[in-house]
Amino acid sequence: MVRSEAVVRQEWWDVLRPPADLAQQCGQLVSQQQAEGPLDQQKLSQLVRSIADKPELWKPLVVVDPSRRRYRLIYEDDRIDVWVLSWMPGQGTGFHDHDHSEVALMCVQGTILEKQMMLPTGASRIEMTPGYVRTGGAGYIHAVSHIEGEPAVSLHAYSPPLIHVGQYVVDGNGILERQIEHGRRELMDHTIESIVGE
Ligand SMILES: [Fe+2]
C-alpha cells in the first residue's frame, strides 16, 4: 500500500466510544435478533442489514482519512461487536481470519473488494456494492480493500466479539505463518496480500 500522507493519530476514545444514542438504537436491533448466546451468520447478516437501513445510525461514524483505514465501534456487548469501517483509495487489509468469531460484513457506500485466498497462488474477487453482504464462520479467511467511494463504507458484525485476528504472512522462504493480533489493532498490509496481487 502506498501512503502518501502522514498517518493521522487516532483517538481510541473516539474509536471505542460510540454516541450513546447510536449504541442504544443499535442495541435494540441486536435484541430483535432474539439470540440467547452468540449470533450465527444468518442473524449477523440480518443485523447488519437492519443497521444499514438506518443511515442515521452509521453515517455519523464515517471518517474521511486518506492516511489510513478508519473504524468506529457502533455497539458491543458480551456476545457481539459491530463496527463502521471507512475505506479510502489504497486502503485495505491483508488476508486474515477472525479467530473464534463469526462475521457478517455489508457494503453500505461505495465499492469494496473482498478476496479469498486460492492456493497455490491467487484469490477470488468479489466486488461489494451497497446492499451486498458476505458472511463467514470461525476460520473464515479474507482480505478486503477499497475500490470506489471517498470513503467506501462497510458494516462489520462479529460474534462472539472480535478478540483476536490471525494475519497471514509469508517469510523470505515462502513459508506461510499465522500471526495472532489483537482484534482491535488495525490490520496492516504486510501480509500474503502482496504475493497474490491485486
Ligand atoms: Fe475481516
Residue 116 domain flag:
yes
CA of 141 to the centre of ligand 1 (A): 7
Residue 137 domain flag:
yes
> Residue 127's domain is classified under what CATH number?
2.60.120.10
CA of 54 to the centre of ligand 1 (A): 23
Domain that residue 77 falls in: 16-93+102-162
pLDDT in tens, the chain (198 residues): 444 457 777 778 888 999 999 999 999 999 999 888 999 999 999 999 999 999 999 999 999 999 889 999 999 999 999 999 999 999 999 899 999 999 999 999 999 999 998 888 788 999 999 999 999 999 899 999 999 999 999 999 999 999 999 998 888 888 888 999 888 876 665 555 555 444
Torsion 22-26-31-35 (CA) sign: negative
Our measurement of the distance from residue 15's CA atom to the centroid of its chain's CA atoms, rounded to an integer in Å, reads: 14
Number of domains within the chain: 1
CA of 142 to the centre of ligand 1 (A): 6
Residue 2 domain flag:
no
Residue 168 domain flag:
no
Closest C-alpha to 30, from 7, 54, 9 = 54
Angle between the N-to-C axes of helices 41-52 and 20-31, in degrees from 0 to 180, rounded to the nearest 10: 140
